[in-house]
Chains A and B, each alone.
Chain A
Amino acid sequence: MREFFGLDMTVVATVLATLLIIALGFVFVLGLRNRILVKLALRNIPRRPAQTVLIVVGLMLSTTIIAASLSIGDTVAGSIRGTVLDALGNTDIRIRAAVDPGDILGDDYIDAETQQAVLDATQPNPNVDGVLPQIRETLPVLNNRTQLTEARMNVVGLDPDGTDGFGNITATTGGTITVSSLQTNEALINETAAEEIDAQAGDTLTLVTPTGRHDFMLKAVMVDGGLAANDDRLIISLPDMQRIMDRAGQVNRIDVSLLGGREGSAKLSEEVAEDLRVQFTDAEAAAELFDELSDSDVITAIEARILDNPGGSITSGTKDDLNELILELESGNRSSERFRALVVKGQVAGHVIAAVESAGLTSQVLPITLLFFQIELLGVDELKQDGLEFAELIGSIFVTFFSIFGSFSIIVGLLLIFLVFVMLAAERAGEMGIARAVGTKRRHLVQMFTFEGVAYSIGAAIVGTIVGLLASGGLVALLVNAIGATDEDAGFEFSFTITATSVIAGFSLGLLLTLATVAVSAFRVSKLNIVVAIRGLPAEFVPSEVLPVRRRLQNIGIALISPIWQIYLLVARSKSNRTVRADIGFLVLYLLLIPWYFRISISLWRFFSPWFGTGIPQIAVGLAGAIVGANLTSGFLFTMLTSLFLVGVGQLVRWLGYRSGLRREVADRIGYSLMGVLVLVFWALPFDALDWLTGTLSGGIEMFIVSGVWMVASAVWIVMYNADLITNAVQATIGQNRRLRPILKPAIAYPTASRFRTGLTVAMFALVIFTLMVFSILNNLGSDIVDTPDRATGGFDIRAETSVDLPVTDIDAAIEVAPTLNPADFALVAASTNLAGEARQAGAEEIRFLDVPIRGVDDAYLQNIQYEMSHFDPEFLPSGIDTTDKLAVARAIWDRLAADSTLAVVSNGLLEAPAGDGGFGFGPGGFEVEGIAQDDDEEITAFEVSIRQTRGQGETVQRTVIGAVDPFAAAFEPSEDGNATAVITTSSVIFDEISNEPVPFTTHRIRLADGVDPGRTAALMETAFLDNSMLATDTFEEIEDGIAQNDAFGRLFQAFMGLGLVVGVASLGVLSFRAVVERRVSIGMMRAIGYKSRMIQVQFLLESVFVTVLGTAIGLALGALISWNIVNSIEDSFDGVSFSIPWLTVVVIVVIAVVAALITTFIPARQASRIFPSEALRYE
């Protein structure tokens, strides 16, 4: 994996490792200076092995989660990478005809003359080690022996003289086979395809092409990979292929292999591809285009567009290209190769044409557009590099996704680390107090604590990384389970992969986060009060004395010049000849700025902190920041700083309470409760509740994490400051039970008395449960589609797709005559075709034509389709229609389209993404409707679009868009890029207008008669229409499979987030073990006055259950609340989505949490119950 949140992974790993080395180096030098402290600190570790283990486990969990997400990313990227490399073998670059790959009508064959030109251009290149002309087509194949068929076999005819440099073909029986050894009508098949049609050497296979049926003898089965690829593949010789396709002398692609073998080389690939692109340009057209563009008006227009950069559509790379283009134009060199290399880039062409159009140079638009398309003679695709980049992209998306959902667990893990160190500090308090009493300096204690913490942290990071890798192995197993170990069509196979950079990054990040927490804990230790510590009074840290303003200002000044002070000290010490070397090291690290930075930050913090109690700084900063945030439309800034403001308000009220003479507890309760309530209410508001004030704010997935943390923190805050209300409530209810009462009282009193520890643990549980709850509610939403499948299927049972070269011309007639099909089974057949096209919205800011498939449909489609509308123009509805009746509205719109072929509808996916949806998009590129967002109100105003075939071919026509189709429509239909296909749908009349040749229907949708089995009929149709290469799908089954896959993914993420539950449970363990030690004497006393040992055990268990139930309840309630908000905000774009609580999941979550808590507390509880009273009391 090469990227982490958009940053280069190597850089990330290097930076993290460097920071880590600096941090550890700093500690190391400190250690060298105080070896005795290190010794004292490390002595604690082996003293209590059980506790050490517990600490290491607690500390490792964050690292585990980070390492697990990174290695899942590695595995996904590595698996796709492996698949790409298997599929391509040694092929790096593919040269093809200059038609859009999505253009089903374009003739993509290359004539003999051009082929020769390609050979001449490539073969002398020293970086090229193989050039292979070939024809590749998807054809139906029948195995005559087994009568099994494959409607979509990839049949490749390879030039027998061109396979050098592309590796060997190995037969499954052993031995190498060459393409040149194939006789006429002999074929090779790969293992994947052989399995599909149960083929073996000697079988006769029938290939169906537009010229008829052709029999081939299967010579051998090939091992997958390399030339044999990993999809369903059949290889024959090029002359045979040219014959059966009636393409004498022609090929449709020429693969190029470069030096660098299977892995390839990105640099080489780019270099050779650019060189080839320039060579395969039409020099004459380029010169003409040069002349057209050299016009000063055009140059001015391009410059204006670069400056204007409408909608940020010009990326920085394209901007550089455009600037370079202007320089080339100004140089006046008509035959410049650089110019040609620039203008073949699609982005450059698009922006230049747009610039010319927007400058109003109407007469020049058409010639320039045409010339742009004439320049490119052949397409040059960097197949391997594009594939590998795609692998990295998907890997990064997985890491991002897992990291974001894992971040709750990471936060919880960090809280646990903090808790562990707080406990450790509490335990060490006695010895540290005595150490201080006998003269140890404050900073020595801090150092000692730090050394111990660092030792645990290193151990934990190592263990955590290893466990993370193992955990990811388990999760990958789940992932494999989710999407099937291998997707045979794509030849995809999961292979567990880990890269060194990920291991380094995961280890470093985990350890750095742990060290940061150690630092915070050590800082707390520095506030230790000697008397409090020695007497073992409640672990209370005495507030540091407040220095006068002048001293605080002085300290800032000292901090600023502290490096100079260090140099002075160094000089002074070197004179007295003490430990100079260590000091130099110390100074070097100091100069690396980190301690300096901290020192300045701390002095600034100290300067302002005395005023924090009044809340006024928070109010001022929060208010100002929130206003700035709203102006920047940053949801993150606005909400964070508004929360700070509300915190300040609570503080202020508390402070005013003190001033007015209220009792401290009362003022605390009022102020803090108010703070919690204000923050909670603020975050619980519907997402758009404040839009009237702030306008629409932007924010991505990070808002989910931020809101979760704030809501949980404020809820826990409220609960902990009003815990006595819960105590009273419990006492008044189950507390009346005589047997439970003596146990219940202390079981609740103990956790509510130590607010900090309990609050922290409750917050951990709440956060974990919160994510699980949100996830299961949102996961539940998708299932609604099962109840209304027509929204996704359009009311058709089967979708049958055929190849454009082998179309079904009259399907009704064909069904009548097909011997295996019963015409009575077919109630209705509707037809459509998706044609590669381009569109431009009238009056939009984007004036380029951008790619979008045009779906032309027949009348049967328009009259019967049951897709609903997410948006519609009420002007086009019959008067008096009930606009809340979704079905009626949709029907009316489709009827309008049937009646008027100049009307169209767009897919919901073509509308603007909802505001604030950062999303995981693949970036812009295609056509998008401006001015209407997916979550806007359903009533819109119709608008015009201009539509033409791709690459500016043919006529341009106008269509009026009167609605947008529900996003559920076709949501489960597969498409090339994996996203639901977003199209412009209109009557197929459009094809007659924009295409120069007839467009056959490639997709048929079939509604079956009642009671007919769609699965069986689909299979029968594939056989009956084998000659058309038909692929028939049972649409309902497709939806169910899709949902099952989504559910499996859902479970995978739940399992991943469940790691957080482990953290929460571990924290309970830490708390309980600590409680047993701290409360030994109290337990002894309770036993003395008659508590039975079992009662003590139950009391400890009850305490855990109490904390767990509290955390779980908060998590469930807040999770449901925010999910309700989420559902409300997406309801507009996904109507029919309704909020429902998955009670079964809730019960499962609660049971798991409570049982896990009981199991973890069992051991410490038993320890507590086994305390012998006389022994315990001796500790007095």
Chain B
Amino acid sequence: MADPIIQASGVVKTYRSRDVVVEALRGVDLQVAAGEMVAIMGPSGSGKTTLLNCLSGLDGIDAGDIKINSRSLSGMSDNALSDYRARFMGFVFQSFNLLPVLSARENVELPLVLAGVGSAAAKTTAMEKLEEVGLADRANHTPAELSGGQAQRVAIARALANEPAIVWADEPTGNLDSENSGEIMNVLLRMNREQGQTFVIVTHSLEVGELADRIVNMRDGAIESERAGTGANSVTAQ
């Protein structure tokens, strides 16, 4: 394996609410190589989303260590983490999470604007990204005017806008029918192959998981098993 871009070792995450203590992650070790597409699978409550949140720095951890690009997240301040996310990461969520008051293009522009890209350049890049996901003609529509599949493609365009090293996707097809799911996965796979970005995808759809390079199975907050997926084949097959 080449130098891993994500290195997690002994990650423990516990949620406490009043008297109930939930051990969401119980010492997870995971390494993801640059350019790899990893699917995290497992039943509900197995800790998939928690793991993704912790790996991406959205959530803190109680023990263990997470390194992204060899840099440990645990020592970073909230502001530094925000910066880090803005520069190196993209996110795709189950329910798209576009800002309803902005148009598709403006939503894609957000990470660019955040990174300090000038407005003309941001506009051009956003249009390119929308083009890549096949939605250039919907650029001026608001999220309410888009279908679920279209909205998710906008979300992907947004996640990829500032060309992040890692894209985190939490159930990207969870709210979509199978046809739309397929389209979304194709877009993700294409990006992964063409631009060499690392993808970590949480899903409980076997069809989606199978498309990844590697499938990590979780159960009760720990990694139960790992196996290779068939992602590369399916893309080349198309």
A145 CB–B CB distance under 8 Å: no
Interface residues of A in 1084-1107 (CB under 8 A from B): 1084-1094
Check if A746 sits within 8 Å of B101, measured CB to CB.
yes
Check if A1092 sits within 8 Å of B59, measured CB to CB.
no
Check if A1089 sits within 8 Å of B116, measured CB to CB.
no
B235 CB–A CB distance under 8 Å: no
Most chain A beta-carbon contacts within 10 A, residue among B82, B99, B100? B82
Interface residues of B in 82-139 (CB under 8 A from A): 82-87, 89-91, 93-95, 97, 99-102, 106, 110-111, 113-116, 118-119
Other-chain residue from B53, B82, B101 in contact with A1093 (beta carbon distance below 8 A): B82
How many Å lie between the Cα of A1082 and that of B119 in the bound state? 22
A745 CB–B CB distance under 8 Å: yes
Contact with B along A736-768 (1 / 0, CB 8 A): 101101100110011011000000000000000
- Give, as a whole number of angstroms, the nearest-CB distance from A744 to chain B: 9
B58 CB–A CB distance under 8 Å: yes
Check A753/B101 contact, CB under 8 A, given A1090-B82, A1093-B82: yes
How many Å lie between the Cα of A1172 and that of B15 in the bound state? 14
Chain B residues closer than 8 Å to A745, beta-carbon distance: 102, 106, 110, 113
How many Å lie between the Cα of A1087 and that of B110 in the bound state? 12
Check if B99 sits within 8 Å of A749, measured CB to CB.
yes
Check A741/B101 contact, CB under 8 A, given A736-B119, A1090-B87: no
Check A1092/B100 contact, CB under 8 A, given A742-B114, A1173-B58, A1174-B53: no
A787 CB–B CB distance under 8 Å: no
A538 CB–B CB distance under 8 Å: yes
Smallest Cβ-Cβ distance to A540: which chain B residue:
B144
- Give, as a whole number of angstroms, the nearest-CB distance from B178 to chain A: 21
- Give, as a whole number of angstroms, the nearest-CB distance from B165 to chain A: 13
Chain B residues closer than 8 Å to A753, beta-carbon distance: 100-101
Report the interface size for chain A: residues with CB under 8 A from the other chain: 33
How many Å lie between the Cα of A1172 and that of B81 in the bound state? 12
Check A1089/B99 contact, CB under 8 A, given A745-B106, A1173-B58: no
Most chain B beta-carbon contacts within 10 A, residue among A742, A1089, A1172? A1089
Check A1081/B59 contact, CB under 8 A, given A538-B144, A1087-B82: no
A1180 CB–B CB distance under 8 Å: yes
Check if B101 sits within 8 Å of A749, measured CB to CB.
yes
Chain B residues closer than 8 Å to A736, beta-carbon distance: 119
How many Å lie between the Cα of A685 and that of B93 in the bound state? 55
Interface residues of A in 719-742 (CB under 8 A from B): 731, 735-736, 738-739, 741-742
Check if B116 sits within 8 Å of A738, measured CB to CB.
yes
Chain A residues closer than 8 Å to B79, beta-carbon distance: 1092-1094
Check if A1089 sits within 8 Å of B94, measured CB to CB.
no
Smallest Cβ-Cβ distance to A753: which chain B residue:
B101
How many Å lie between the Cα of A1091 and that of B79 in the bound state? 9
Smallest Cβ-Cβ distance to B113: which chain A residue:
A742
Check if A1177 sits within 8 Å of B58, measured CB to CB.
yes
How many Å lie between the Cα of A323 and that of B110 in the bound state? 85
Check if A742 sits within 8 Å of B99, measured CB to CB.
no
Check A1180/B111 contact, CB under 8 A, given A736-B119, A1174-B59: no
How many Å lie between the Cα of A1180 and that of B202 in the bound state? 15
Smallest Cβ-Cβ distance to A746: which chain B residue:
B99
How many Å lie between the Cα of A1085 and that of B99 in the bound state? 9
Chain B residues closer than 8 Å to A1084, beta-carbon distance: 97
Check if B101 sits within 8 Å of A750, measured CB to CB.
yes
Check if B101 sits within 8 Å of A1092, measured CB to CB.
no
- Give, as a whole number of angstroms, the nearest-CB distance from A728 to chain B: 12
How many Å lie between the Cα of A1082 and that of B93 in the bound state? 11
- Give, as a whole number of angstroms, the nearest-CB distance from B115 to chain A: 8
Check if A1092 sits within 8 Å of B119, measured CB to CB.
no
- Give, as a whole number of angstroms, the nearest-CB distance from A17 to chain B: 47
Most chain B beta-carbon contacts within 10 A, residue among A742, A749, A1090? A1090
Chain B residues closer than 8 Å to A1085, beta-carbon distance: 91, 93, 97, 99
Chain A residues closer than 8 Å to B111, beta-carbon distance: 1089-1090
Check if B102 sits within 8 Å of A749, measured CB to CB.
yes
Chain A residues closer than 8 Å to B94, beta-carbon distance: 1180
Smallest Cβ-Cβ distance to A1089: which chain B residue:
B111
Other-chain residue from A731, A735, A750, A1091 in contact with B114 (beta carbon distance below 8 A): A1091
Chain B residues closer than 8 Å to A750, beta-carbon distance: 101
Most chain B beta-carbon contacts within 10 A, residue among A735, A741, A1084, A1091? A741
Check A1180/B101 contact, CB under 8 A, given A745-B106, A1090-B82, A1174-B59: no
Check if A1088 sits within 8 Å of B95, measured CB to CB.
no
Check if A1092 sits within 8 Å of B82, measured CB to CB.
yes
Contact with B along A190-219 (1 / 0, CB 8 A): 000000000000000000000000000000
Chain B residues closer than 8 Å to A1082, beta-carbon distance: 97, 99-100
B158 CB–A CB distance under 8 Å: yes
B183 CB–A CB distance under 8 Å: no
Contact with B along A1160-1180 (1 / 0, CB 8 A): 000000000000111001101
Check if B91 sits within 8 Å of A1088, measured CB to CB.
yes
How many Å lie between the Cα of A1085 and that of B155 in the bound state? 11
How many Å lie between the Cα of A752 and that of B103 in the bound state? 13
Chain B residues closer than 8 Å to A1092, beta-carbon distance: 78-79, 82-83
Smallest Cβ-Cβ distance to B97: which chain A residue:
A1085
Smallest Cβ-Cβ distance to A749: which chain B residue:
B101
Check if A1180 sits within 8 Å of B93, measured CB to CB.
yes
Check if B95 sits within 8 Å of A1180, measured CB to CB.
yes
Check if A1088 sits within 8 Å of B158, measured CB to CB.
no
Check if A1088 sits within 8 Å of B58, measured CB to CB.
yes
Contact with A along B34-78 (1 / 0, CB 8 A): 000000000000000110010010110000000000000000001
Chain B residues closer than 8 Å to A749, beta-carbon distance: 99, 101-102, 106
How many Å lie between the Cα of A746 and that of B99 in the bound state? 8
Chain B residues closer than 8 Å to A1086, beta-carbon distance: 99, 110
Most chain B beta-carbon contacts within 10 A, residue among A750, A1084, A1173? A1173
Check if A1174 sits within 8 Å of B58, measured CB to CB.
yes
How many Å lie between the Cα of A1164 and that of B16 in the bound state? 25
- Give, as a whole number of angstroms, the nearest-CB distance from A507 to chain B: 42
How many Å lie between the Cα of A745 and that of B114 in the bound state? 11
How many Å lie between the Cα of A753 and that of B110 in the bound state? 17
Chain A residues closer than 8 Å to B118, beta-carbon distance: 738
Check A1090/B85 contact, CB under 8 A, given A742-B114, A745-B113: yes
Chain B residues closer than 8 Å to A1173, beta-carbon distance: 53, 58-59
Check A1081/B101 contact, CB under 8 A, given A745-B106, A1090-B82: no
- Give, as a whole number of angstroms, the nearest-CB distance from B109 to chain A: 8
Chain A residues closer than 8 Å to B106, beta-carbon distance: 745, 749
Smallest Cβ-Cβ distance to B103: which chain A residue:
A749
How many Å lie between the Cα of A1166 and that of B53 in the bound state? 23
Most chain B beta-carbon contacts within 10 A, residue among A538, A1088, A1177? A1088
How many Å lie between the Cα of A750 and that of B95 in the bound state? 20
Check if B93 sits within 8 Å of A1089, measured CB to CB.
no
Check if B119 sits within 8 Å of A741, measured CB to CB.
yes
How many Å lie between the Cα of A1082 and that of B84 in the bound state? 19
> What 9 pairs between A and B have smallest CB-CB spacing?
A1090-B86, A1174-B59, A753-B101, A1085-B97, A1174-B53, A749-B101, A1092-B82, A1174-B58, A1090-B85
A-B contact pairs, 19 of them (CB 8 A): A738-B116, A739-B116, A742-B113, A745-B102, A745-B110, A749-B102, A753-B100, A1084-B97, A1085-B93, A1089-B89, A1089-B114, A1090-B87, A1093-B82, A1177-B53, A1177-B58, A1177-B93, A1177-B170, A1180-B94, A1180-B97
Interface residues of B, Cβ cutoff 8 Å to A: 49-50, 53, 56, 58-59, 78-79, 82-87, 89-91, 93-95, 97, 99-102, 106, 110-111, 113-116, 118-119, 144, 158-159, 170
Interface residues of A, Cβ cutoff 8 Å to B: 538, 731, 735-736, 738-739, 741-742, 745-746, 749-750, 752-753, 1081-1082, 1084-1094, 1172-1174, 1177-1178, 1180
Could you list 11 further interchain pairs (A-B, Cβ under 8 angstroms) beyond the known A538-B144, A1089-B158, A1174-B53? A738-B118, A742-B114, A745-B110, A749-B99, A1082-B100, A1086-B110, A1089-B86, A1090-B111, A1092-B82, A1094-B79, A1173-B58
